[in-house]
Amino acid sequence: MFGYMGKILRVNLTDKKVSEEPLDRHTARKFLGARGLGAKILFDELKLGTDPLGPENKLVIATGILTGIPIPGSARFVVMAKSPLTGIWGESPAGGFFGNELKAVGYDAVILEGKASRPVYLWVNESETEFRDAGHLWGKLTRDVQREIFKEVKDETAIVGCIGPAGENMVKFASILFDFNHVAGRTGMGAVMGSKNLKAIAVRGTQRPKYADEEKLIDLSLKELANKGETTRRGCYWPDALDKYGSNVDYRYWQLTGRLPTQNFRKCTFPGYQNVIAETVSSTILIRTNTCPHCPIQCNRIVQVSHPYEVDPDYGGPEYETTAALSSFCMNDSLAALAKANELCNKYAMDTISTGVTIAFAMECYEKGLITSKDTEGIDLTWGNPEAMIQIVEKIAHRQGIGDLLAEGVRRASKKIGHGAEEFAMHVKGMEIPMHEGRGKKGHGFSYTISNRGACHLQMESDDLFEETPYPEVGIDETVKADRLYAGPEKVKLVKVVNDLFILYDCLPICRWTVYPDGGKRVETFAKIINAATGWNVTIGELMTVGERVCNLERAFNVREGINRKDDVLPKRLLEEPLPDGPYKGETIGKKALDKMLDHWYALRKWDKDSGIPTREKLEELGLKYVADELENIGPPRKAEKHSPS
């Protein structure tokens, strides 16, 4: 099969058995790879009610056709499992070298199942897949683990993905760190790895796929490498801004437009913003930038601080989400403390978004007297206290004191605390809400409710991006309405098209930063690249259908676990509390408006209006009859109290 390695590695950690199985050609065409392949594997192989931290859960790391092809943004892969944070579909895309190297050692994906009897790491090389003792690595920080493994496998060019103490302690939002500072951040994939006693996976190979038309592929790749984007499309040299400032270039824009998530979404502008904006970072603590293979954008930040906190540049530097979650969201205006907290999250391997949102939640609890200084062992967890923020990061990673409760995420923590704490636990389906203010851009806000992995900012894009910028090639035309405050049916149509498009991106996979300037035209380019690689004749329509298919499959996974319309909600704060200041002062989303948007969403998706369950008609249309059969066997929607994932 052209374009793929054609093999999946399956590792059973209980029996220490390794096997290879072929990647089915039909599956490859229907689901492409990466997120699509993982969705197929996990829907088929996991049963209803699988314990996310039990040996029956499976961790899938999957690449796609584009992984390894030398075009900007292609160095991506996706880590997937049933999430311990949410109890539903868990998925975490990441960049860097790991995906390329997994293919180079001969595999399109690896499935990790079972549980090792004691800590191990895997060394996957061209001779064999070895189980190596990791007892001496357990407890070690991520960089130290990677360096130790380089010595042990005698190869400093090996690419290592590992967990830190947070994953070992099964912090529900623990992450996996690849090549020092590329992170599979969200949904707790690090906790799944920790539950399997798997400390790390190291890969090294020299192979590459066979391609159908190598000459054409090279030609297309060279054009992509030279492409700076159609700059007149929105007049935005997006890649240049990312190069100089990283994704944190957004921070000032959100502040100036009154949509910067602040103080647990109680506010929308932050007085201390100048201390942490990208321009300040660039002129003070930034020492260099970094990038993924084949990508000229250089969006990664590398920072160094010596006072009042020592921040090791080996752990990179904060991007936008991290910056907002650990500055404005917690009312912290200390850049040094922000950089330190980012470093700790990478050292211990924890999702920075969930960490920041959880700390902000704890700060609000402290303010309201629901958590006291006795609970925090003397830490003064007041808003904006940088030292307190850093101490709580440590406690969460090690599940010490109050950290043990907070390590469960805001949904569980708020239930335990009670006394109304659930009202300001900012999550959807158990996943902490990222740093985009949905009250001021209602499509993006709506997308939190419909995202299959819980609140996620990557299933849609800021409405602003589509204002005055159609993507007619994929259906974002005059029938959609992108105006940021509009929340009617044409906005839902925009969300639906973008959602399918973004899921497709995760199946290729391709980094979002490289696709914005050219909009829908880029999908046409990807079709050409895929056809040159595989010998297929895919069209834009077929690719968009892949996005829709995978969306439905993930939704079916969630429905099987008890998700239905009652879970497609937003916290009360975003529904009812208006933005307090700025250009969009007074805006909310509103329960009635959200319900109407959901009605339109289900109609567009051809899902049942009352339950939000994909209809048989839709699933069969997408070639998922067996999924429809399975959902029918499970029976009608179950009540939230009995079956909602805890």
Residues that bind another protein (CB under 8 A): 231-232, 234-238, 240-241, 244-245, 247, 249-250, 252-253, 256-258, 274, 320-321, 434-436, 457-458, 461-462, 464-465, 467-468, 512-513, 516, 582-583
Tokens of 14: 């209980």
Which one-letter amino acid corresponds to residue 629?
A: D
Q: Residue 395 gets which letter from DSSP? A: H
Paired sense of beta strands 17-22 and 120-124, if any: unpaired
Instruction: Supply the minimum distance, in Å, between the C-beta of residue 68 and another protein.
Output: 24
d(CA 147, CA 158): 10
> 485 Cβ partners below 8 Å, 6+ apart?
440, 441, 442, 584, 587
- Hey, what's the torsion of the CAs at 379, 384, 385, 390, to 10 degrees? 80
Instruction: Supply the minimum distance, in Å, between the C-beta of residue 235 and another protein.
Output: 4
Question: Which residues is 290 bridged to in the sheet?
Answer: 300
Closer residue to another protein, CB minimum distance, 237 or 626: 237
> 614 Cβ partners below 8 Å, 6+ apart?
552, 555, 556, 559, 605, 606, 607, 608, 627, 628, 631
Locus of tokens 């400093």: 156
Dihedral class, residue 121 (left if φ above 0, else alpha if ψ from -120 to 50, else beta): beta
Q: What is the 3-state secondary structure (H, E, C) of 11-46?
A: EECCCCEEEEEECCHHHHHHHCCCHHHHHHHHHHHC
Instruction: Supply the minimum distance, in Å, between the C-beta of residue 186 and another protein.
Output: 11
Instruction: Supply the minimum distance, in Å, between the C-beta of residue 449 and another protein.
Output: 17
Closer residue to another protein, CB minimum distance, 201 or 325: 325
Closer residue to another protein, CB minimum distance, 324 or 556: 324
Instruction: Supply the minimum distance, in Å, between the C-beta of residue 281 and another protein.
Output: 14
Instruction: Supply the minimum distance, in Å, between the C-beta of residue 56 and another protein.
Output: 33
Instruction: Supply the minimum distance, in Å, between the C-beta of residue 139 and another protein.
Output: 32
Closer residue to another protein, CB minimum distance, 135 or 583: 583
Question: Which residues is 471 bridged to in the sheet?
Answer: 476
In 310-368, the DSSP E strands lie at: none
Instruction: Supply the minimum distance, in Å, between the C-beta of residue 593 and another protein.
Output: 22
d(CA 111, CA 98): 15
Question: What separation in angstroms does the CA of 557 have from each of 36, 82, 221, 393, 628?
Answer: 13, 9, 36, 32, 11
Closer residue to another protein, CB minimum distance, 516 or 557: 516
Instruction: Supply the minimum distance, in Å, between the C-beta of residue 246 and another protein.
Output: 10
d(CA 506, CA 516): 14
Closer residue to another protein, CB minimum distance, 353 or 619: 353
Closer residue to another protein, CB minimum distance, 30 or 484: 484
Closer residue to another protein, CB minimum distance, 23 or 476: 476
Closer residue to another protein, CB minimum distance, 113 or 250: 250
